[in-house]
Amino acid sequence: MNIEQHSHVFPNGLVLAAETMPALKSAAFTILTPAGAAFERASSGGAASMCAEWVTRGAGGRDSRALIAALDNLGVSHGESAQTVHTNLWAATLGRNAFAALALFADILTKPALDDDEVEPIRALALQNLRGLDDDPGSKVIHELRKRHFPDPWGRNSAGTPEGIEQTTAEELRQFHADNYRPNGTILAVAGAVDWPRLRDEVERLLGDWAQRDEPEVEEHASGSPREHITRDTQQIQIALAFDAADVAGPDYYRARALAGVLGGYSSARLFTEVREKRGLCYSVYAGYESLRGRGAIYCHAGTSSDRAQETLDVTLAEIDRLGREGIAQAELDMMRAGLKSSLIMQQESTSGRSASIASDWYYLGRMRTLEEISSKLDELTPESVGAYAAELGRGPRTIVTLGPRPLVIPGES
């Protein structure tokens, strides 16, 4: 497949990054605009998610129904979500319809209807989503972990708060849109069957006159307590913990990803083997990795019965400590590498997945990575280099949050 990478930064600060794949018939694009939960006022938690829904309910002179019909007529799969830093708009369709779909999304970005009549239905959906989160203890404990591990506002839950959702007015949502939907800081990433010169010209025509706005100032505040128990009358106790790791742009990024994988990223990983298979303490246990700009984290989660929760926590912490003391074996590293490469290759075979990866790469690195580059970096890892990194992280602080009927004892702490 003849794949070419291109990029262009327009005078208003908008970044266009593309990977053209002429052998494909589909095309997809991801738009990251800097309108995430981190830019909400403290009293308006949920404004980013509400605004992401609002901008898609009519744009460019079309009401909500007409806009959806226009997208459906083009065969566009699409979605939107607010994240910590960005609001993410994405779409995928046949390559021949990509420019028409892009024109609709340009209207969503710059000419949304922002009809006041849509606010109350959006508010009701946001509250329903928040209640759904509260009914999912596993997701709830991870959100609470992020809120305490990362400094505010970077650990905020984009779903918001009941008070923020109930109190935020249409005027405040409109102001949030005016302050944060801007070209400077926005990344438009495209992958698939598109012609680069035409794409660049079309984006300039559609978004070249989108006016810049000042970047909002963000003040960081200390996060919550690194030890927290949330009392809930549940059948299980949820256990979540996190410790700092390299971010995507850091020199130790691939070692951090390897460590998360070896610890709990696949069905033969340390936590799965020791906590679930050998001891039968819980059905599900895993480890993952998350990066923000300038900071990253490895996190672990397990859900288990009350009578086995203390042992589950003890064994999980012991496995993390053992990894730092003893390092990893070549077989573990090879298994992690094979799994991560497979997932990356499958992701690249989807134009939607590829456009999302391009957007993320540009945000963190200011460039696009190729699959060959990632594969080469993974091949450079050795048990010694990953083991040394594990030993270094093992000495750092940890955030631990539990949720359930009773708190647990943190080993080594009174």
Give bridge partners of residue 112 from the DSSP assignment.
59
Can you give the pLDDT at residue 1?
Answer: 60
- The single-letter DSSP state of residue 28 is E
Count CB atoms within 10 A of the CB of residue 77: 14
Query: Do 43 and 215 meet the contact criterion of CB atoms below 8 Å apart?
Result: no
The domain 4-207 is classified under which CATH number: 3.40.630.30, 3.30.70.3270, 3.30.830.10, 3.60.150.10?
A: 3.30.830.10
pLDDT digits 0-9 by tens, 170-193: 999 999 999 999 999 999 999 999
Can you give the pLDDT at residue 342?
Answer: 83
Can you give the pLDDT at residue 309?
Answer: 95
Give the helix/strand (H/E) hosting 412: none
Q: How far is CA 207 from the centre of its chain?
A: 25
Tell me the one-letter amino acid at 306: S
Phi, psi for 307 (deg, rounded to 5): -75, -15
Dihedral in degrees, nearest 10, Cα atoms 157, 163, 164, 170: 150
pLDDT digits 0-9 by tens, 20-75: 999 899 999 999 999 999 999 888 899 999 999 999 999 999 999 999 999 999 99
Query: Do 48 and 86 meet the contact criterion of CB atoms below 8 Å apart?
Result: no
Query: Do 265 and 343 meet the contact criterion of CB atoms below 8 Å apart?
Result: no
Can you give the pLDDT at residue 248?
Answer: 96
Residue 411, classed as helix, strand or coil, is: coil
- Do 4-207 and 227-404 have matching folds? yes
Query: Do 354 and 5 meet the contact criterion of CB atoms below 8 Å apart?
Result: no
For residues 238 and 229, give the distance between their C-alpha atoms in angstroms, rounded to a whole number: 10
Q: Is 149 exposed, middle or buried (0-12, 13-18, 19+ CB in 10 A)?
A: buried
**Domain range summary for the chain, segments of one domain joined by +:** 4-207, 227-404
Secondary structure percentages of the chain, helix, strand, coil, to 5: 50, 20, 30
For residues 104 and 405, give the distance between their C-alpha atoms in angstroms, rounded to a whole number: 49
Rounded average pLDDT per 10-residue block, the chain, 414 residues: 91 98 94 97 91 98 97 97 97 97 98 97 96 91 95 94 95 96 98 97 98 92 90 93 96 94 88 91 91 94 94 94 91 90 77 95 96 91 94 86 95 79
| Tokens 């990253």 sit on residue | 296
Which of 32, 70, 357, 373 is CA-nearest to residue 191?
Answer: 357
Can you give the pLDDT at residue 414?
Answer: 62
Residue 19, classed as helix, strand or coil, is: strand
| Tokens 């494909």 sit on residue | 24
Give bridge partners of residue 79 from the DSSP assignment.
90
Buried b (16+ CB within 10 A) or exposed e, 349-378: ebbbbbbbbbbbbbbbeeebbeeeebeeeb
For residues 382 and 372, give the distance between their C-alpha atoms in angstroms, rounded to a whole number: 18
Q: What is the DSSP string of 97-155?
A: GHHHHHHHHHHHHH-B---GGGHHHHHHHHHHHHHHHHT-HHHHHHHHHHHHHSPBTTT
The domain 227-404 is classified under which CATH number: 3.30.830.10, 3.40.50.300, 3.40.640.10, 3.90.1150.10?
A: 3.30.830.10
